[in-house]
Amino acid sequence: MNQAIEISNNIFWIGANDRRTHIFENYWPLPKGVAYNSYVIVDEKVAVIDTIERSRLDDYIENLQAVLNGRKVDYLIINHMEPDHSSAIKTLLCHFPGLTLVGNAKTFPMLENFYGVHENLLEVQEGSTLDLGKRKLNFYMAPMLHWPETMVTWVPEEGILFSADIFGAFGTLDGGIFDDQVDLDYLEEEISRYYSNIVGKYGVPAQTALKKLGGLPIRMICATHGPIWRTHIADIIARYDKWSKYETDEGVVIAFSSMYGHTEKMADLIGRFLAEKGVKKIRIHDTSKTHPSYIINDIFRYKGVILGSCSYNGNIFPTMETLLSELEHMGVKNHLMAFFANKTWAGGALPRFTQFADKIKWEIVAPHADASGSPVEKDVEACRNIACAMADRLQQKS
């Protein structure tokens, strides 16, 4: 059955939903699945824009052929070479041997390295135009969003921006494919978690791209994951602007690692004291239970970050080390920070927390709390001091 959907006159969505893959890029959890979006423009020339992940190839080719109705594909526009969008390339070449592959100078080395393809290439640059007949395609480079070869394709006659992974989201498209057809409240966390973990490291390139594309009269944004934006365009652009500037709301993320509950007690104490000071948006995460992608997502939302860990073999607990490494790698900016730690014998988490603070360069609002076992009165007061200092500093920021 043909499941292609016409999104504008002779422009079709030919994507697929994936509810079977549990983790994206073999790391990020997909509790609500993911959609792979590909598009085809049928004009005097036919252009496919990006492909999909190989697990859905049979349905993909069937839908494409149903749209083509016997015609051939002239161009494949490769906005992004990541295999969840490029792994159907060799299959398309088998079905359409004369197909021309359109990319930029950074696209083609990856194309050869991934698939051994090095013929029938058309290189485009910033501002290049490809004439399809009634429509022309314009190309803008968007490097490091989130790979170095990323570009976007603009169709001025339609006001459609094919944006690769930019403005994407986790989550399948359940029923509708447009933003006004799906439950955006249901997808809310998957939209922001996609940005914070997939794109979040690249705030400066995101700002560059937003400025470059800001003057376009965009009527529709067609990303390679998530819904097609046609009603909430200004909203998703505003979110990207805020997130890529590392602007946050008043709130605190408390992430802790605890083996036997003593460090968790400190986290709960800090949370309670924050509430007493009027902070309402408090998110407490156990790093052994919660995947880093959800913690990082909340850190992108909220200004305050309080991290705590027990000792493990004289060092920091492994799941906290994972979170710290992720945050260091992503280079998240503009947060307020404090630490708490717990140990039974020598060593502990504080040296690693100090190293993290030196590297991340967030503002430390209070001295750390450092307990030995179940928190006693001095530890309770140290936790209170952290909470009060964080709340005061947040209120100053607001």
pTM of the entire predicted model: 0.94
How high is the pLDDT of residue 3?
A: 84
Using the structure block, give the residue that is written with the tokens 């939209």.
Answer: 191
How high is the pLDDT of residue 82?
A: 96
Average pLDDT over residues 271-278: 98
Q: Which 3 state secondary structure label does DSSP give 375?
A: coil
Average pLDDT over residues 5-34: 95
User: Is residue 227 a contact partner of residue 295, using CB atoms and an 8 Å limit?
Assistant: no
More confident residue, 258 or 398: 258
User: Is residue 257 a contact partner of residue 71, using CB atoms and an 8 Å limit?
Assistant: no
377-397 and 262-276 helices cross at what angle (nearest 10)?
40
How high is the pLDDT of residue 343?
A: 94
Which helix (H) or strand (E) covers residue 138, if one does? Answer: strand 136-141
Using the structure block, give the residue that is written with the tokens 């906005």.
Answer: 79
Tokens of 133: 């007949």
| 34, 86, 164, 184, 337 from 173: Cα distances, Å | 8, 20, 17, 10, 37
- What are the two backbone dihedrals, phi and then psi, of residue 142, each rounded to the nearest 5 degrees? -135, 60
* CATH, domain 5-244, list 3.40.190.10, 3.40.1160.10, 3.40.50.300, 3.60.15.10: 3.60.15.10
Which helix (H) or strand (E) covers residue 131, if one does? Answer: strand 129-131
Mean residue pLDDT of the chain comes to: 96
Decide whether 5-244 matches 252-397 in CATH topology.
no
Task: Using alpha carbons, select from 67, 85, 80 the residue that is nearest to residue 12.
Answer: 67
Share of the chain above pLDDT 70, in %: 99
Average pLDDT over residues 303-319: 96
pLDDT digits (tens, 9 = 90+) for 117-132: 999 999 999 999 999 9
Query: Which CATH architecture best describes the domain 252-397?
Result: 3-Layer(aba) Sandwich (3.40)
How high is the pLDDT of residue 346?
A: 83
Task: Using alpha carbons, select from 314, 315, 310 the residue that is nearest to residue 260.
Answer: 310
- As a whole number of angstroms, the distance between CA 135 and CA 77 comes to 14
Length of the chain: 398
Q: Is the pLDDT of residue 104 over 70?
A: yes
Q: Is the pLDDT of residue 2 over 90?
A: no
Extents of the domains making up the chain: 5-244, 252-397
Q: Which 3 state secondary structure label does DSSP give 304?
A: strand
User: Is residue 165 a contact partner of residue 146, using CB atoms and an 8 Å limit?
Assistant: yes
Q: Is the pLDDT of residue 311 over 60?
A: yes
pLDDT digits (tens, 9 = 90+) for 374-391: 999 999 999 999 999 999
pLDDT digits (tens, 9 = 90+) for 191-232: 999 999 999 999 999 999 999 999 999 999 999 999 999 999
Q: Is the pLDDT of residue 397 over 90?
A: no
**Spacing of C-alpha 151 from chain mean position:** 17
Q: 345 falls in which pLDDT band (50, 70, 90)?
A: confident
DSSP 315-331: EE-HHHHHHHHHHHHHT
Tokens of 41: 């423009």
- As a whole number of angstroms, the distance between CA 110 and CA 100 comes to 16
In this structure, the number of other CB atoms found within 10 A of the CB of residue 84 comes to 21
CA atoms within 13 A on the CB side of 282: 20
